[in-house]
Amino acid sequence: MTFEYAPAPESRAIVDIKPSYGLFINGEFVDGHGKSFKTISPATEEVLAEVAEADQADVDAAIKAARRAYTRVWSRMPGRERAKYLYRIARILQERGRELAVLESIDNGKPIKESRDVDVPIAAAHFFYYAGWADKLEYSGYGTQSLGVAGQVIPWNFPLLMLAWKIAPALACGNTVVLKPAETTPLTALLFAEICQQADLPPGVVNIITGAGSTGATLVEHPDVDKVAFTGSTAVGKAIARAVAGSDKKVTLELGGKAANIVFDDAPIDQAIEGIVNGIFFNQGHVCCAGSRLLVQENVYDEVLERLKRRMSTLRVGDPLDKNTDVGAINSAEQLGRIRELSEVGEAEGSERWSAPCDLPSNGFWFPPTVFTGVSQAHRIAREEIFGPVLSVLTFRTPAEAIEKANNTPYGLSAGVWTDKGSRILKVANALRAGVVWANTFNKFDPTSPFGGYKESGYGREGGRHGLEAYLSPHGTAK
């Protein structure tokens, strides 16, 4: 049964959302030359702020500022001095953690308990971790030479965290940055710009330009960008790879996924249920490494399904700022449309749909936690990234069948294995073509651990020592 909890809303008073925002170029906020757009709260559809849309001239100005800061200041600064700025930023992220978490939940729709306990602490941890590397690059194994100006484009599912994954290693290695946050979630990146000012980061080392896809395209295609780092959809990742092909830009792409979460019959079932729920309903399923394909051994299928539905019935869907909320709002009307469309396709293809009974708010964008059974490998809901709180369940009989089905995907970002046997974990993990394999857990992130994909999930690694490779050159080619 679900206990009735009184609402426990986190106060919004700590955040100061301005009516409008400019672009952060060369250490200050400036008006853009282009148009502007609105960012809204996906939970209420309330307009939060008007944000500048950077055009070609703005992108040029940001890259120019980054180039100047790179040649005159940042690339010349000893690593131990750069580290001080990164530590300072990390500490400010911690100090202003509540503010960042509330702002992230308002702009993105994710539950406050996730932004507070996952996004913000791990973002700070990334800056702490890469601060530690800044004066030890000679031990990285990837050289010590920075690349120059990094053009970075990030998605809306973990706005601050993806910013940290991109900016922290770039700065630690001596590069400067122009970053474009996603159109629907620009506010924490703009608050991060204020944090750069507060940390006295030299002007131009970090530039934040807001805008839509065309701003992102202008940035990554710019001839004076040395390094492109992108996280987002496979379709846009492919477009970027095509656009920069033939140039000498270094590129890392972190793209989509359709991870298998494999539950063997000897798994600790209660823990596995928590892992399945965390795997697909964490962050509304807006997670590239979400465990969106559940593979259950046939002889425990009924038990797993029954317990899973019981657990899903206790998930609280609603106000992202309520500390009891487990599942928040879908990030945009567009994304809700995609989730609905693929769910309808799932039914039309013959799968059975079950959604947790819950009251959804009347305003905003919402989708109940949903599970599809009777799914075959050919179904679109088993192949395509839904990027929402929708789980597809398939079964298997033998470990070999589980591996075969898990690898039957164009993606290869992550996977999960649930079993009592250590030897089986090692064997299966070895056979899975996925960048990250979790054993008896799911969706765990740590700055010391590399993350990235195979096949259509992209190339390059972020996090850990491996994450330095993307921002260093073994050949001293800096401009």
Known catalytic residues are 254, 288
**Distance of closest approach, residue 470 Cβ to ligand NDP, in angstroms:** 16
Between 89 and 244, whose beta carbon lies closer to ligand NDP?
244
Q: Which of 27, 155, 318, 364 is in the footprint of ligand NDP by CB under 6 A?
A: 155
Residue 209 structure tokens: 């330009």
Between residues 340 and 427, which has the closer beta carbon with respect to ligand NDP? Answer: 340
280 is a contact residue toward ligand NDP (CB under 6 A): no
**180 touches ligand NDP by CB under 6 A:** yes
Ranges within 209-228 binding ligand NDP (CB under 6 A): 212-213, 216-217, 220
Region label for 458, one of left (φ > 0), alpha (ψ between -120 and 50) or beta (otherwise): left
Cβ-based neighbour number of residue 65 at 10 Å: 24
Least gap, CB of 312 to ligand NDP (angstroms): 22
| C-beta of 309 vs 338, nearer to ligand NDP | 338
Query: Edge-to-edge, what's the strand order for the sheet holding 436-439?
Result: 352-355, 370-373, 390-396, 293-297, 260-263, 414-418, 436-439
Q: Is 71 in the site for ligand NDP (CB under 6 A)?
A: no
Interface with ligand NDP, residue 261, by CB under 6 A: no
**What is residue 170's three-state secondary structure?**
helix
Give the residue at shortest CB distance from ligand NDP. 216
In the complex with ligand NDP, the residue whose CB is nearer, 150 or 296, is: 150
Select from 105-113, 178-186, 421-429, 434-442 the region that touches ligand NDP (CB under 6 A): 178-186
The smaller minimum CB distance to ligand NDP, of residues 133 and 156, is found at 156
Sign of CA pseudo-dihedral 92, 95, 99, 100: positive
User: What are the strands, taking DSSP E only, across 321-424?
Assistant: 352-355, 370-373, 390-396, 414-418
Cα(40)–Cα(47) distance, integer angstroms: 4
Q: Which of 385, 456, 462, 469 binds ligand NDP (CB under 6 A)?
A: 385
293: nearest Cα among 407, 192, 203, 431: 407
Phi-psi region of 26 (alpha: psi -120 to 50; beta: other; left: phi over 0): left
Span interacting with ligand NDP, options 67-75, 177-185, 192-200, 389-397, rule CB under 6 A: 177-185
Taking phi first (over 0 means left), then psi (-120 to 50 degrees means alpha), and beta for anything else, what does residue 6 get? beta
Determine, following the binding rule CB under 6 A, whether residue 238 of this chain makes contact with ligand NDP. Answer: no
Phi, psi (deg, nearest 5) at residue 38: -100, 140
Largest Cα span, the chain:
65
Please give, one letter per residue, the 3-state secondary structure of 209-238. CCCCHHHHHHHHHCCCCCEEEEECCHHHHH
**Applying CB under 6 A, does 107 fall inside the site for ligand NDP?**
no
Among 187, 208, 240, 432, binds ligand NDP (CB under 6 A): 240
Which residue among 238, 323, 338, 433 contacts ligand NDP (CB under 6 A)?
338
Is residue 7 classed as helix, strand or coil in its secondary structure? coil
Question: Could you say which of 109, 256, 285, 369 contacts ligand NDP (CB under 6 A)?
Answer: 256
Which chain residues interact with ligand NDP by CB under 6 A? 153-157, 180, 182-183, 212-213, 216-217, 220, 231-233, 236, 239-240, 255-256, 288, 335, 338, 385, 387
